[in-house]
């Protein structure tokens, strides 16, 4: 499955597909601007470690394979 991680509120350190994406997110309220998101290709591992209080939405869908 393909995954999209949406940082609804807060900040966290993200890792996806073996890539360190650093600290992501900036809004502390869902109404404080645009959210940050990360696309994770099918079959890739991912992790997020909260740096502040964090609300993370994890969305998934069947993947077609073949990367992006």
Instruction: State how many domains the chain has.
Output: 1
Predicted model pTM: 0.85
Host domain of residue 22: 2-61
Cβ neighbours for 15, distance < 8 A, ≥ 6 positions apart: 21, 45, 46, 47, 48
Can you give the pLDDT at residue 66? 61
Q: Is residue 67 part of a domain?
A: no
Tell me the CA distances in angstroms from 27 to 22, 42, 46, 52, one per residue in order.
Answer: 16, 28, 22, 11
Query: Binning pLDDT at 50, 70 and 90, where does residue 20 land?
Result: very high
| Cα–Cα dist 48/27, whole Å | 16
Q: Is residue 50 part of a domain?
A: yes
With 90 as the cut, is the pLDDT of residue 30 above it?
yes
Can you give the pLDDT at residue 68? 55
Q: Is residue 49 part of a domain?
A: yes
Q: Is residue 68 part of a domain?
A: no
């Amino acid at each position: 499955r393909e995954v999209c991680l949406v940082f609804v509120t807060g900040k966290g350190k993200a890792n996806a597909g073996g890539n360190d994406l650093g600290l992501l997110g900036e809004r502390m309220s869902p109404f404080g601007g645009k959210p940050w998101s990360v696309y994770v290709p099918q079959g890739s591992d991912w992790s997020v470690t909260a740096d502040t209080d964090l609300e993370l939405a994890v969305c998934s869908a069947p993947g077609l394979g073949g990367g992006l």
